[in-house]
Amino acid sequence: MGGGLLIVAMALALAACSGGTDRQGSEAGAAASGGTDAMTLYKKQCLSCHAADLSGRVGPSLEEIGSKMSERQLIDTIQDGAKGMPAFKKVLRADEIETLAQWLSTHTQAEEDKP
Ligand code: HEC
């Protein structure tokens, strides 16, 4: 019994020393705020260029895209593509594009500051 407690105490001390300052808040938030359908579509079609956490790779970051573009503009961009981005109107159905645009429009700058 006593030995077990000692191990717990040591583990706590070690954890305190390593100072867990890294936060994964933004990533977890991005994953939690989207509908699963949009997430699935995004992972299949968009992740390769915009990264799993929307931070961007070949394409720009979409982390705050909801503050930059309206849902209508998002739909247009996904349908017709852009410089370096393929058009998706033949790949995705209109309602799938709408789902994605809706989901992306919830990714605004203010999102993280809300309580
Ligand atoms: C082949 C790589 C590629 C894929 C796949 C791709 N994109 Fe893009 N995307 C880009 C590039 C490159 C740009 C920048 C275009 C420009 O400079 O005008 C872009 C721009 C955008 C923009 C505008 C961003 C801004 O700040 O103006 C949106 C929104 C967007 N993509 C959404 C998507 C979505 C949603 C998907 C999946 C359906 C997707 N993209 C798939 C490469 C890609």
Question: Closest by alpha carbon to 78, among 68, 69, 88?
Answer: 88
Ligand 1 site residues (CB inside 6 A) read 45-46, 48-50, 58-60, 62, 65, 68-69, 74, 77-78, 82-86, 88, 100, 104
Position 109 confidence tier, pLDDT thresholds 50, 70, 90: confident
* Ligand 1 pocket mutation pick from 45, 46, 83, 85 by most atoms within 8 angstroms of CB: 85
CA distances from 25 to 28, 31, 39, 95 (A): 5, 10, 18, 30
- Residue 71 has a pLDDT of 97
Using CB atoms within 10 A of its CB, is residue 72 exposed (0-12), middle (13-18) or buried (19+)? exposed
- Residue 11 has a pLDDT of 63
For residue 17, say whether it is annotated as part of any ligand binding site: no
Note the pLDDT tens digit of each residue in 8-40: 666 656 555 554 444 444 444 444 444 458 999
Question: What is the rounded distance in angstroms from the CA atom of residue 83 to the CA atom of residue 85?
Answer: 6
- Residue 27 has a pLDDT of 42
Predicted TM-score (pTM) of the model is 0.74
